[in-house]
């Protein structure tokens, strides 16, 4: 099994709306985000790679054009609804999920998307290797 990862960076503000009153994440604040896109394949191409890293620039372009130096709540309010019909929260978990769903058809080898808000915290959305269905995991805050 071959796995490749490419890392991207962007800065953005957000505010969580489903947290208890007084929670610090309920205030508008920002992060220098790190996004990792992980692709996996049983084999390699004729060029002996899973995929040309340059082909992942569509992720970089999306982050730059849609999320970088913006309030993520504005984008999520327009484009993303969660199962309960409410706006999707702009948690690291939901950013990973939205990115995974946005690029899974373009990159069939997509295994996972990881998002970091701080150097010590990561959230990940990935496909289960056993049954190719999606599952979600995250680190404790």
Told to judge if 25 belongs to the known catalytic residues of this protein, a careful annotator would answer: yes
- What whole-number distance in Å separates Cα of residue 75 and Cα of residue 29? 16
Q: Which of 9, 23, 58, 69 is flagged as catalytic?
A: 69
Helix axis angle for 72-79 and 92-103, nearest 10°, is 50
CB 76 within 8 A of CB 99: no
Q: 8, 35 in Cβ contact below 8 A?
A: yes
Select from 77, 82, 67 the least CA-distant residue to 31: 67
Q: Given 25, 31, 89, 124, which residue is catalytic?
A: 25
Is the CB of residue 108 less than 8 Å from the CB of residue 40? no
Catalytic residue status for 31:
no
Q: Does the active-site annotation cover 140?
A: no
The token pair at 81 is 């609804």
Indicate which residues carry an active-site annotation: 25, 69, 117
């Amino acid at each position: 099994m071959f796995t490749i990862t490419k890392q991207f960076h962007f800065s953005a503000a957000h505010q969580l709306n489903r947290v208890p009153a007084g929670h610090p994440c309920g205030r508008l604040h920002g992060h220098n985000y790190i996004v990792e896109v992980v692709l996996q394949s049983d084999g390699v191409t004729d060029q002996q790679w899973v995929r040309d890293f340059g082909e992942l620039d569509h992720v970089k372009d999306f982050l730059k054009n849609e999320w970088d130096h913006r309030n993520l709540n504005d984008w999520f309010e327009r484009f993303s609804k969660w199962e309960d019909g409410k706006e999707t929260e702009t948690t690291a978990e939901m950013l990973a999920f939205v990115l995974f769903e946005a690029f899974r058809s373009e990159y069939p080898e997509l295994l996972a998307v990881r998002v970091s808000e701080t150097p010590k915290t990561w959230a990940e959305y990935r496909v289960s290797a056993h049954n190719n269905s999606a599952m979600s995991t995250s680190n404790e805050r």
